[in-house]
C-alpha cells in the first residue's frame, strides 16, 4: 500500500470542557476522494480546520507527504498546497468576484508598475477568474466585477469552489460544497471534483448528502464522537450502513476499525 | 440509485453561454441610482459642487474667486489630512478618536526637539513622524492583538496623548516668530505660492497628494483590497489568506504617521507650535464628520477616501460661505448636522442593491 499524502495521528482539540477531537487519526491517499461523514457535533469541522490550519490542535501530529507539518494559519496550509472551501465560504461580500478569488495572492503587474507601484494586474486576474468560472459552468454570472453580495447563494458557493480548484495543488478540502447549490450547480461541482481527481489531486469532501458522497467517494471516513470510527468502501456498504455507523445505531465489523 | 440519478442528466443539454438579459429599462432615475451605487464618492461630489454653485450665485465673485476657493483648501488642510487617516481606520470597521491629539502632540514633539534639545529641524520632523507612527502602532496592537474595541482604545489614547502633550510641553507655546528665525524648516508646509490669484501652500499640496496616493493604494494594490476585506468580514479575510493582524497594524501605524504629518501641517498653517490647539480636542470629531459626509460606512469595508476628502471640502465651503454671507456661525453647525444625517440616509438608499 502506498503512503498517505496527508496523515494525522492522535489529534486532540478541546474547547474549554468540550472535546471536539479525541485522539483522532486521519489518512488521505494520493489521488483519492475521501468523504468525511459524521453526525452534527461529531467534530468533522474541527478535524478539517486542524488540517487546513484554521485551528491549532492541542495534541497530535500531521504529516504531509511524509514530512511532519504544523500549520498555525490557513495561509501556511495554503503555501503547502492545501486549499479549503469553508462552509462559510470566507468571502468579502462588498468586494468583487475577482478580488475574492485572488484574496491573499493577488497578481501584480509585470515591470515597474508591479514592483515599484505594487499595482495589481487586473486584466490578468479578471481573465483567469472568468476562465475558472467558465470551467465550473457558472455561466449565469455575467459580470466578473460584480460584488459577491449581489450573487445568489449557489453562485457564491460556485465562486468559492472555483477559487480552491484554481489554486489547490496538493489537497483540496471541500466543506459541504453542494449544500446551498441548485441541481445544475451541484452536478457541476461533483463533475469538478472528479475532474480535479483525474488531475491527480486528492480531495477531502465533507458532506451530509449521502447520494453525492456515495457517488464520488473512493473511501468514506466515518467520524463519531471526535474520532475516526471506521473507514468504509462505498462499494461494499450501503447508505443505510453508513448512517447507522455514524449515528451509533450500529457498530462496524471489527475488521473495519483501524488500529 | 440509478432511478434517482437520471433526473440530473438533462443538465448536460443546457446551454453553456454566459447569461445575458435584455437591459431592463431603468429610466434616468434608475441609471442614476446604479451610478451612485458603483461610485460612492459621487454623492459628496455632487453636494460639494452644488454648495459651491449656490454660494457662488448668492455671494458672487467675492466667493467664486480663485483666492476664496483656494482659501477653503487652506482652511481644510489639517482636517483633510486627519480625515484621510480617519477613513483608513473606518474602512477597517474601526474608529479613531485620537487622531487630533496625536497631531498636536507630534507638532509639540517637533518643536521641543528643535528648541529644547537643539537638534536640526529635519531630525525633529523625522522624530515627530516616528512618535506618531509609534502611537498608531500601540493603538493597532491593542486593537489587533489584545482585541479591544477601537472606540475604547482610542478614547483612552486620546486622553493619554492629550494629557502627555500638556505635561510634556508645560502648555507653553513656541511663537511663530522664533520658529521663523531659528527653524524655518518646521514651517516648510506653510510655504505659499500664488498662481494667478489662487494661493496654495505646500500643506494643501501635501493633502491632495496624500489623498491621491491613498486612493490609488486602496484601489489598485493588494494592501488596499486587504483593508476593505478586513473591514468587511475579518474572519472571512483571515480564512481567505489575509493576515488580519498585519493589515490592521499597517493601517494603524500609517494612520499614526499621517496624524503626525497633520501636526507638521499645523505648524505650517499656524506658524507656531501650540499645545492647546483646538485640533487636539475636536480634530477627531471634525475628521469623523468629513468621513461620514463623504459616504464611508461606519461599519467598515465600504466607501472611498475621495468621498472623505470631498466631505472635508463641503464643511470648508459651508464655513467660509456662511461667514462671507454674514450668517451666525451656529448656522454652519446646524447645516453640517443636517448633512451628516442626510449623508447616511442617502447612503442607506444607495445600498439597496435590488433597485
| Phi/psi at A169 (5° precision) | -115, -25
**pLDDT tens-digit readout, A202-216:** 999 998 888 889 999
Whether residue B82 lies inside any domain: the answer is yes
Least confident of A218-222, A254-258, B209-213, B325-329: A254-258
Confidence (pLDDT) at A152: 77
Question: Which CATH class for the A6-256 domain?
Answer: alpha beta
In eight-state DSSP terms, residue B186 is: G
Q: Going by DSSP bridges, is the β-strand pair A82-85/A67-69 parallel, antiparallel, or unpaired? A: unpaired
Compute the average pLDDT of residues B305-327: 93
By residue count, chain B amounts to 355
Cα dist from A174 to A35, A193, B10, B212, whole Å: 10, 9, 26, 41
Confidence (pLDDT) at B1: 45
**pLDDT tens-digit readout, A66-86:** 899 999 888 888 889 899 888
Whether residue B324 lies inside any domain: the answer is yes
* Torsion, Cα of B323, B325, B326, B330 (10° steps): -60
The domain ranges of chain A are 6-256
Confidence (pLDDT) at B49: 94
Choose from A49, A73, A90 for mutation: most chain B CBs within 10 A: A90
Whether residue B31 lies inside any domain: the answer is no
Q: Kindly write down the DSSP assignment for every residue of B77-94, as one continuous string.
A: HHHHHHHHHHHHHHHTT-
pLDDT at position B168 over 70: yes
Confidence (pLDDT) at B2: 47
Tracing cell 472571512 back to the chain, one arrives at B236
The residue in chain B having the minimum alpha-carbon distance to the alpha carbon of residue A210 is: B1
Coil, helix or strand at residue A169: coil
Instruction: Take residue A187 and report the three cell numbers written for it.
Output: 452536478
* A 111-140 residues inside an 8 A Cβ radius of B: 117-120, 122, 134, 137, 139-140
Confidence (pLDDT) at B25: 56
How far is residue A89's CA from residue A86's CA, in Å, rounded to a whole number?
A: 5
Instruction: Take residue A4 and report the three cell numbers written for it.
Output: 498517505
A145 part of contact set with chain B, CB < 8 Å: no
**pLDDT tens-digit readout, A159-179:** 888 888 888 778 999 988 887
**pLDDT tens-digit readout, B15-24:** 555 555 555 5
Which of the pair, B264 or A177, is modelled with greater confidence?
B264
Number of domains in chain B: 1
Q: What confidence category does residue B8 fall into, taking pLDDT thresholds of 50, 70 and 90?
A: low
Q: Going by DSSP bridges, is the β-strand pair A219-224/A82-85 parallel, antiparallel, or unpaired? A: unpaired
Instruction: Take residue A68 and report the three cell numbers written for it.
Output: 511532519
Q: Which chain A residues are within 8 Å of B213, Cβ to Cβ?
A: none
Average pLDDT, chain A: 85
E strand spans, chain B? 192-195, 198-201
Cβ contact (<8 Å) for A103 and B228? Answer: no
Q: What confidence category does residue B39 fall into, taking pLDDT thresholds of 50, 70 and 90?
A: confident
B5 part of contact set with chain A, CB < 8 Å: yes
Choose from A72, A91, A92, A216 for mutation: most chain B CBs within 10 A: A92
Cβ contact (<8 Å) for B19 and A187? Answer: no
What is the ipTM, given to two decimal places? 0.81
Pick the closest to residue A202 from A181, A179, A174, A177 (CA basis).
A174
Confidence (pLDDT) at B273: 94
Coil, helix or strand at residue A73: coil
Cβ contact (<8 Å) for B237 and A92? Answer: yes
Cβ contact (<8 Å) for A140 and B243? Answer: no
A68 part of contact set with chain B, CB < 8 Å: no
The residue in chain A having the minimum alpha-carbon distance to the alpha carbon of residue B218 is: A119
Chain center to CA of A40: 18
B9 part of contact set with chain A, CB < 8 Å: no
Compute the average pLDDT of residues B108-128: 95
Choose from A49, A56, A75, A95 for mutation: most chain B CBs within 10 A: A95
Residue B305 makes CB contacts below 8 A (sequence gap 6+) with B84, B87, B88, B91, B211, B214, B215, B218, B296
Least confident of A44-53, B182-191, B310-319: A44-53
Instruction: Pick B301's closest partner by Cβ from A92, A103, A211.
Output: A92
pLDDT at position A257 over 60: no
Cβ contact (<8 Å) for B222 and A106? Answer: yes
Compute the average pLDDT of residues B104-128: 95
Cβ contact (<8 Å) for A139 and B17? Answer: yes
In eight-state DSSP terms, residue A147 is: B
Q: Which chain B residues are within 8 Å of A95, Cβ to Cβ?
A: 225, 228-229, 232
Confidence (pLDDT) at A149: 84
A149 part of contact set with chain B, CB < 8 Å: yes
Cβ contact (<8 Å) for A92 and B5? Answer: no
Cβ contact (<8 Å) for B239 and A88? Answer: yes
* Torsion, Cα of A168, A171, A176, A180 (10° steps): 20
Give me the domain span that covers residue B339: 41-350
Whether residue B95 lies inside any domain: the answer is yes
Residue A106 makes CB contacts below 8 A (sequence gap 6+) with A120, A125, B222, B225
Confidence (pLDDT) at B33: 75
pLDDT at position B14 over 70: no
CA angle (A125 as vertex; A122, A130 as ends), nearest 5: 120
Residue A92 makes CB contacts below 8 A (sequence gap 6+) with A99, A100, A103, A148, B228, B229, B232, B233, B236, B237, B240, B301
**Partners of A84 in the β-ladder:** A173
Instruction: Pick A187's closest partner by Cβ from B8, B220, B241.
Output: B8
Q: What is the CATH number of the domain that holds B166?
A: 1.10.3470
Cβ contact (<8 Å) for A141 and B19? Answer: yes
Cβ contact (<8 Å) for A211 and B4? Answer: yes
Q: What confidence category does residue B55 fall into, taking pLDDT thresholds of 50, 70 and 90?
A: very high
Instruction: Pick A92's closest partner by Cβ from B5, B18, B232.
Output: B232
Choose from B15, B214, B236 for mutation: most chain A CBs within 10 A: B236
* Torsion, Cα of B307, B308, B312, B317 (10° steps): 10
Cβ contact (<8 Å) for B228 and A184? Answer: no
Q: What confidence category does residue A256 fall into, taking pLDDT thresholds of 50, 70 and 90?
A: low
A71 part of contact set with chain B, CB < 8 Å: no
Instruction: Pick B225's closest partner by Cβ from A95, A137, A214.
Output: A95
Q: Which of A92-101, B77-86, B177-186 has the highest mean pLDDT?
A: B77-86
Q: What confidence category does residue B354 fall into, taking pLDDT thresholds of 50, 70 and 90?
A: very low
Compute the average pLDDT of residues A125-154: 80
Measured between CA atoms, how close is A197 to chain B, in angstroms?
Answer: 20
Coil, helix or strand at residue B193: strand
**Partners of A35 in the β-ladder:** A205, A220
Q: Which chain A residues are within 8 Å of B15, Cβ to Cβ?
A: 139
b/e per residue, A86-101, with b = 16+ CB within 10 A?
A: bbebbbbbbbbbbbbb
Percent of chain B's residues with pLDDT above 90: 71
B240 part of contact set with chain A, CB < 8 Å: yes
- Answer for the pair B87, B305: CB distance below 8 angstroms, yes or no: yes
Q: What confidence category does residue A259 fall into, taking pLDDT thresholds of 50, 70 and 90?
A: very low
Instruction: Take residue B134 and report the three cell numbers written for it.
Output: 509609534
Tracing cell 500549520 back to the chain, one arrives at A71
Percent of chain B's residues with pLDDT above 70: 91
pLDDT at position B3 over 50: no
Cβ contact (<8 Å) for A54 and B239? Answer: yes
* Torsion, Cα of B260, B264, B269, B272 (10° steps): 110
The residue in chain B having the minimum alpha-carbon distance to the alpha carbon of residue A212 is: B5
Amino acid at each position: 500500500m502506498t503512503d498517505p499524502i496527508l496523515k494525522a495521528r492522535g489529534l486532540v482539540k478541546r474547547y474549554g470542557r468540550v472535546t471536539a477531537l479525541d485522539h483522532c487519526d486521519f489518512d488521505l491517499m494520493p489521488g483519492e476522494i475521501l468523504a468525511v461523514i459524521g453526525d452534527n457535533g461529531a467534530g468533522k469541522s474541527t478535524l478539517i480546520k486542524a488540517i487546513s490550519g484554521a485551528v491549532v490542535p492541542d495534541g497530535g501530529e500531521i504529516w504531509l507527504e511524509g514530512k511532519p507539518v504544523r500549520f498555525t494559519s490557513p495561509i501556511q496550509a495554503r503555501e503547502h498546497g492545501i486549499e479549503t472551501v469553508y462552509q462559510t465560504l470566507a468571502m468579502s461580500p462588498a468586494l468583487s468576484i475577482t478580488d475574492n478569488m485572488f484574496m491573499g495572492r493577488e497578481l501584480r503587474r509585470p515591470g515597474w508598475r508591479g514592483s515599484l507601484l505594487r499595482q495589481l494586474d487586473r486584466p490578468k486576474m479578471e481573465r483567469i477568474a472568468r476562465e475558472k468560472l467558465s470551467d465550473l459552468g457558472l455561466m449565469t454570472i455575467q459580470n466578473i466585477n460584480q460584488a459577491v453580495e449581489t450573487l445568489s447563494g449557489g453562485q457564491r458557493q460556485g465562486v468559492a469552489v472555483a477559487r480552491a480548484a484554481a489554486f489547490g495543488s496538493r489537497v483540496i478540502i471541500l466543506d459541504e460544497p453542494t449544500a446551498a447549490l441548485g441541481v445544475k450547480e451541484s452536478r457541476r461541482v461533483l463533475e469538478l471534483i472528479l475532474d480535479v481527481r483525474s488531475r491527480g489531486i486528492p480531495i477531502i469532501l465533507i458532506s451530509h448528502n449521502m447520494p453525492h458522497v456515495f457517488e464520488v467517494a473512493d473511501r468514506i471516513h466515518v467520524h463519531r464522537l471526535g474520532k475516526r470510527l471506521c473507514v468504509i468502501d462505498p462499494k461494499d456498504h450501503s447508505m443505510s450502513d453508513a448512517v447507522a455507523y455514524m449515528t451509533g445505531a450500529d457498530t462496524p465489523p471489527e475488521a473495519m476499525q483501524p488500529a | 440509485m440509478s432511478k434517482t440519478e437520471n433526473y440530473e442528466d438533462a443538465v448536460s443539454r443546457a446551454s453553456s453561454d454566459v447569461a445575458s438579459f435584455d437591459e431592463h429599462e431603468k429610466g434616468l432615475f434608475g441609471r442614476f441610482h446604479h451610478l451612485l451605487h458603483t461610485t460612492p464618492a459621487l454623492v459628496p461630489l455632487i453636494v460639494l459642487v452644488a454648495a459651491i454653485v449656490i454660494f457662488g450665485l448668492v455671494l458672487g465673485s467675492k466667493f467664486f474667486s480663485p483666492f476664496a476657493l483656494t482659501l477653503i483648501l487652506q482652511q481644510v488642510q489639517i482636517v483633510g489630512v486627519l480625515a484621510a487617516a480617519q477613513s483608513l481606520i473606518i474602512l477597517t470597521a474601526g474608529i479613531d478618536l485620537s487622531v487630533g491629539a496625536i497631531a498636536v502632540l507630534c507638532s509639540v514633539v517637533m518643536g521641543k526637539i528643535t528648541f529644547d534639545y537643539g537638534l536640526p529641524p529635519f531630525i525633529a520632523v523625522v522624530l515627530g513622524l516616528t512618535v506618531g507612527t509609534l502611537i498608531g502602532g500601540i493603538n493597532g496592537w491593542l486593537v489587533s492583538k489584545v482585541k479591544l474595541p477601537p472606540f475604547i482604545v482610542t478614547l483612552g489614547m486620546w486622553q493619554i496623548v492629550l494629557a502627555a502633550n500638556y505635561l510634556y510641553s508645560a502648555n507653553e507655546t513656541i511663537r511663530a516668530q522664533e520658529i521663523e528665525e531659528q527653524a524655518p524648516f518646521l514651517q516648510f508646509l506653510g510655504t505659499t505660492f500664488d498662481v494667478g490669484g489662487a494661493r496654495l501652500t505646500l500643506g494643501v499640496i501635501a493633502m491632495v497628494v496624500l489623498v491621491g496616493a491613498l486612493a490609488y493604494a486602496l484601489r489598485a494594490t493588494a494592501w488596499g483590497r486587504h483593508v476593505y476585506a478586513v473591514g468587511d468580514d475579518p474572519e472571512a479575510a483571515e480564512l481567505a489568506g489575509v493576515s488580519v493582524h498585519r493589515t490592521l497594524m499597517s493601517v494603524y501605524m500609517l494612520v499614526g504617521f499621517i496624524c503626525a504629518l497633520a501636526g507638521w501641517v499645523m505648524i505650517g498653517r499656524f506658524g507656531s507650535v501650540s499645545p492647546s490647539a483646538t485640533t487636539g480636542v475636536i480634530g477627531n470629531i471634525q475628521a469623523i464628520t468629513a468621513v461620514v459626509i463623504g459616504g464611508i460606512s461606519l461599519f467598515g469595508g465600504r466607501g472611498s477616501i475621495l468621498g472623505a476628502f470631498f466631505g472635508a471640502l463641503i464643511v470648508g465651503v459651508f464655513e467660509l460661505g456662511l461667514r462671507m454671507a454674514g450668517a451666525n456661525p451656529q448656522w454652519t453647525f446646524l447645516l453640517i448636522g443636517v448633512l451628516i444625517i442626510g449623508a447616511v440616509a442617502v447612503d442607506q438608499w444607495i445600498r439597496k442593491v435590488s433597485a
